[in-house]
Structure 1
Amino acid sequence: MKVKSIFAIVSCFITLALGSCNDDLNPIGGSIQPPSDTISVITDTVGVKARTVSMRDSVYARTINGVLGKYEDDLFGTIKSDYLCQYYFPDGAKFQDNLLQIDSVQFVIDFNTFSGDTLAPMGLSVYKVATDLPQNFYTNVNPAKYIGDKPKLLASEAYSISGAKKTANSANTAIIGRSIIADLGVPFGKEIYNGWKDKTFTDNASFNKFFKGTYVTTNFGSGSLIRVLYTSIDIYYKYNDVLGNHDQTKDTIRTSRFSLTVTPEVMQLNSIKNKNPEELFTEGTGASYMKTPAGVYTEVVFPIKQIRANMASRNFETINTALFSMKGYTEKESTTQYELGRPTTLLLINKDSVDVFFSGRQLYNGKTTIIGERNKTNNIYNFSNIASLINAYKDMNLDEDPTFAIIPVEIAYTVDANNSKILTGVFNYLQPSTSIIRNDEKNMRLELIYSKF
């Protein structure tokens, strides 16, 4: 028999496998002629154990997109997030000659994604970083270590999401951008200008020694979280443009702007604190939970030893299909006006590989690291066929069943010359989100199809 025919027969039994609701091995394929090409196919259903695990506020988060604010939820507890950052001084950056005066200096946060109450009053504080920031991109960083015993406040401002300044739409999106602006003061601008003029700094490395960065936090309020697109310092000034009028006969006073921005070339450290209620970790409730950023995730144990024994009892050799999905507990999920969103993409990965995966900037391979996408219509996260993963661990002949983390992630792509998407990054999901998963015996299971010649 041709291999193509065998796969066609196996595929047609997937629907039957989905209807299997017990742990018995059910034959679904008989004999296929000629006898020398006989193939047998059976289905199996095994239960999967799942529980909620704390991220302990420590996830790898190398990004220029900070999260700022505080949000409190009756079920999921409290999220408090702020960040430390450096600013990039690009090669060739300069003030115009013949500077006359600095008019204003603004600290600007640009964002277009947020969660919570748009009317909630919040307070912004910007502190000067006093010591060098570490090469550490984990969200449990302690900002107090880097602003000193007597932190210097650079700027403060009250804000709300609805009151933030609206900016022009991006060319690629209909989402309205917003900006939170605080006054850094003219003396701050003069300090930067004098450092540049005296050549105290001439490149990015020397600039980050001259000005080590800022700690951006909230000083009052609760109810909203924003995802920061850009953080920047804008120095507005006037200068004398010598013989700069229309016929080059007279000097002209002009205005300009000198900008410093957080970019991938410099450090940004997100500090995230979660207060997770003990109820989230109670087992036997039929539910497990996910909460981002750096909150809780769902951990599953696949019964590899049971699968291996089930196959051996009937002398089956190959796992053709292993279907795994997680159903959202829609009835328990919040539907309030200011609810947090649901994570759309999950990463299934061995729990012992999580840290090296993110810190090493690895990409999922679809075999031992697998992506699950949420169907908004039925609130199901579908990992499709994970047979490659189950087969890999079955063949390892482990003494204990392996444990896997299911973590909300964000996927980054680029588009090549042929307009095809190319995977470029997998990152811990830093936007505020929550999800409740059904983990009872009926819903948390693997549907398998075995075959043998």
Structure 2
Amino acid sequence: YNMKFKLMAVLVITAALYSCDDSTTGVGDFVSNIDKIEAFSDTYKVTSRTEKLDKIYSRTNRAYLGKYTDADFGQFSADFITQINCPENFELPEHLIGITGASLELYYTNYYGDSLATLTVQVDELDKVIEDADTDLYYTTYDPKKYYDETAKPLARKSYAAVDFSVSDSLRNTSTYYPNIKIDLGDDFSKRIQQKYTDNPEYFKDAYSFINNVLKGFYVHTVQGDGSVIYIQDIWLRLSIDYYTERESTGKIDSLAHGSSILAASKEVLMSTKMENDEKLKEMADSENDNYNKFTYLKTPAGLCTEVNIPIEDIYSKHSNDTINSVTLSIKKYRYSGSEENSEYEMGIPQNVLLVRKGDYENFFENNKTYDNKTSFLGTYSSNTNSYTFSKLNRLISQVFSEIRTGENNNEDRDKVLLIPVTTETDTEGNIIGVSHDMEVNAARLFGGEKGEELSIDIVYTRPNGTTK
């Protein structure tokens, strides 16, 4: 339908329109006889559907580990490959007696699921050096078997729970406590690292030499259990060492000392998380399935997004000569992402959602772009309205109108956008400088769907009085 309203205070309202957005859509300028400018609103139906993301770009310095089966979304698992960085000119103490132990330590900031569920993690050593050309590792669907021998004896196994109740409440509740899983890598591993250091200390001069000659990396994965996923922030390889100290005054060996030296995974080396969902997500994205096509979903990580089809051709046929001042899409969220009775561990709500043209989706993440408010936009969940709102889409409409006029980008995805849950990275001043896939366990069920409640997009445009389409 089309609603028309006159501007009563022309100068004030016109200024307000321009203050909303400095990018408008249309041809021609406003005529000088400004008191005849009229503003109009228009509403168009949009359609939406759930789309399964088969793979997502996951190059990150965080890792995820665990397995969880949800009554609504099925089973999800996460494991990872990581290299270990060796700082330049790394050295152990001069009077080294020996490396007495080695442990892989996983420090995590949070978790999803059952704090008491027991899972078993296994650590395998990689037997292939990861090359720069191995771009498959930048995605959540890589095959770890290409990088380690699954028939070989694993380095270590350890059972753990997301909350370690062997640690006292008084310690666990302090601000300095950092939850972690410490995995003993065994004597053979320790002795091998010591032998490498003794025979070829130059192998420890930098990360490249270390990775190529000493330790190619680890594959860390869950082999038993179900119930939690941990969000890992730091990964350390701790080498426990015995060495002699010198007395400063004489320079002679004074006493025996015990200590440790830490090598960490860091952004200078590769870390890649592998994620798997069972067939449940494919079922939820089936537009023919009447159990799921009355709404759409957002599900992270590596799960479901929502596709929105905007009727660009209809809008263009009516408004190609108008000045479109704002285009707003708002989509409400249901209270529960799944069934209320299944919400034993309610998933988090995706807080930030990227709206990006479907044809630009892969390129956006692979090239580490940030949203430009032209072909990609960021929407934030509002608890007040219980919705995600995108209010500057006139810039997208302007881009597509231009393509229609020139005949560019004329394909079936031209009028489609994807809504993808993301996390943002900010600089010290709070400016968003990076956008990446949300890798934590979050979900939302949205209004819409092929057989659900009708969605709409709202347009405000101006047309000088007397001008007709």
TM-score bracket for this pair, using the shorter chain length? 0.7 to 0.9
Give yes or no for the alignment of 1:323 onto 2:328: yes
The count of corresponding residues between Structure 1 and Structure 2 is 424
Q: Is the 8 A contact 1:71 1:224 kept in 2?
A: yes
Equivalence for 2:400: 393
* Cα shift at 1:274: 1.0
Equivalence for 1:340: 347
CA gap of 1:350–1:36, structure 2 versus 1, over 3 A, is closer
Equivalence for 1:258: 261
Give yes or no for the alignment of 1:451 onto 2:462: yes
1:424-439 counterparts in 2 under 5 A?
A: 424-439=433-448
Instruction: Kindly provide the amino acid, as one letter, of the partner of residue 115 in structure 1.
Output: Y
Structure 1 residues not aligned, in runs of 5+: 15-31
CA gap of 1:116–1:36, structure 2 versus 1, over 3 A, is closer
CA distance in 2, matches of 1:193, 1:168: 38
CA gap of 1:175–1:377, structure 2 versus 1, over 3 A, is farther
Equivalence for 1:81: 78
User: Once the two structures are superposed, what CA deviation does each residue of 1:299-335 show, in whole Å capped at 9, x if it has no partner?
Assistant: 11111111112326xxx51111111122112255455
CA distance in 1, matches of 2:169, 2:257: 24
CA gap of 1:175–1:363, structure 2 versus 1, over 3 A, is farther
Equivalence for 2:159: 158
User: Once the two structures are superposed, what CA deviation does each residue of 1:143-202 show, in whole Å capped at 9, x if it has no partner?
Assistant: 111112523411110000112776999xxx959530011111233122112212322513
Q: Is the 8 A contact 1:166 1:176 kept in 2?
A: no
Instruction: Kindly provide the amino acid, as one letter, of the partner of residue 92 in structure 1.
Output: N
1:32-181 counterparts in 2 under 5 A?
A: 35=33, 37-56=35-54, 58-133=55-130, 134-135=134-135, 136-163=137-164, 177-181=178-182
CA distance in 2, matches of 1:166, 1:365: 47
Q: Is the 8 A contact 2:10 2:35 kept in 1?
A: no
Give yes or no for the alignment of 1:238 onto 2:242: yes
Instruction: Kindly provide the amino acid, as one letter, of the partner of residue 448 in structure 1.
Output: I
Give yes or no for the alignment of 1:383 onto 2:396: no
Which one of 225, 231, 247 corresponds to residue 221 of structure 1? 225
* Cα shift at 1:92: 2.2
Q: Is the 8 A contact 2:328 2:459 kept in 1?
A: yes
* Cα shift at 1:37: 4.3
Q: Is the 8 A contact 2:47 2:454 kept in 1?
A: no
User: Once the two structures are superposed, what CA deviation does each residue of 1:395-450 show, in whole Å capped at 9, x if it has no partner?
Assistant: 321575521111111100111xxxx2233211111111111111157552101111
Instruction: Kindly provide the amino acid, as one letter, of the partner of residue 327 in structure 1.
Output: K
CA gap of 1:40–1:276, structure 2 versus 1, over 3 A, is farther
Which one of 212, 221, 227 corresponds to residue 216 of structure 2? 212
* Cα shift at 1:41: 1.3
Q: Is the 8 A contact 2:423 2:438 kept in 1?
A: yes
User: Once the two structures are superposed, what CA deviation does each residue of 1:77-107 show, in whole Å capped at 9, x if it has no partner?
Assistant: 1111101111101012111011123332111
* Cα shift at 1:8: 3.7
When structure 1 is superposed on structure 2, of 146-155 and 177-186 the one drifting more is 146-155
CA gap of 1:176–1:47, structure 2 versus 1, over 3 A, is farther
CA gap of 1:436–1:260, structure 2 versus 1, over 3 A, is same
CA distance in 1, matches of 2:123, 2:339: 33
**What's the TM-score, normalizing by structure 1?**
0.86
CA distance in 1, matches of 2:79, 2:167: 22
Q: Is the 8 A contact 1:164 1:178 kept in 2?
A: no
CA gap of 1:332–1:204, structure 2 versus 1, over 3 A, is closer
* Cα shift at 1:384: 2.4
Give yes or no for the alignment of 1:295 onto 2:296: no
Task: State percent identity of aligned pairs.
Answer: 26
Equivalence for 1:18: none
Equivalence for 2:376: 369
When structure 1 is superposed on structure 2, of 84-93 and 143-152 the one drifting more is 143-152
User: Once the two structures are superposed, what CA deviation does each residue of 1:324-376 show, in whole Å capped at 9, x if it has no partner?
Assistant: 12211225545523122121101111111111111111111122110010113
Secondary structure of 2:216's counterpart equals coil
Structure 2 residues not aligned, in runs of 5+: 1-6, 22-29, 405-409, 465-469
CA distance in 2, matches of 1:250, 1:127: 39
Equivalence for 1:23: none
CA gap of 1:166–1:382, structure 2 versus 1, over 3 A, is farther
CA distance in 2, matches of 1:42, 1:286: 32
CA gap of 1:13–1:376, structure 2 versus 1, over 3 A, is closer
Which one of 287, 308, 311 corresponds to residue 319 of structure 2? 311
Instruction: Kindly provide the amino acid, as one letter, of the partner of residue 127 in structure 1.
Output: D
CA gap of 1:275–1:7, structure 2 versus 1, over 3 A, is farther
CA gap of 1:395–1:164, structure 2 versus 1, over 3 A, is farther
Q: Is the 8 A contact 1:106 1:181 kept in 2?
A: yes
Q: Is the 8 A contact 2:295 2:453 kept in 1?
A: no
When structure 1 is superposed on structure 2, of 295-304 and 130-139 the one drifting more is 130-139
CA distance in 2, matches of 1:151, 1:37: 81
CA gap of 1:448–1:410, structure 2 versus 1, over 3 A, is same
Secondary structure of 1:234's counterpart equals strand
Instruction: Kindly provide the amino acid, as one letter, of the partner of residue 257 in structure 1.
Output: S
CA gap of 1:174–1:256, structure 2 versus 1, over 3 A, is closer
Q: Is the 8 A contact 1:409 1:428 kept in 2?
A: yes
* Cα shift at 1:379: 2.6
CA gap of 1:153–1:3, structure 2 versus 1, over 3 A, is farther
CA distance in 1, matches of 2:166, 2:159: 13
CA distance in 2, matches of 1:168, 1:267: 35
1:258-297 counterparts in 2 under 5 A?
A: 258-277=261-280, 278-283=282-287, 285-297=293-305
CA gap of 1:356–1:240, structure 2 versus 1, over 3 A, is same
Equivalence for 1:190: 191
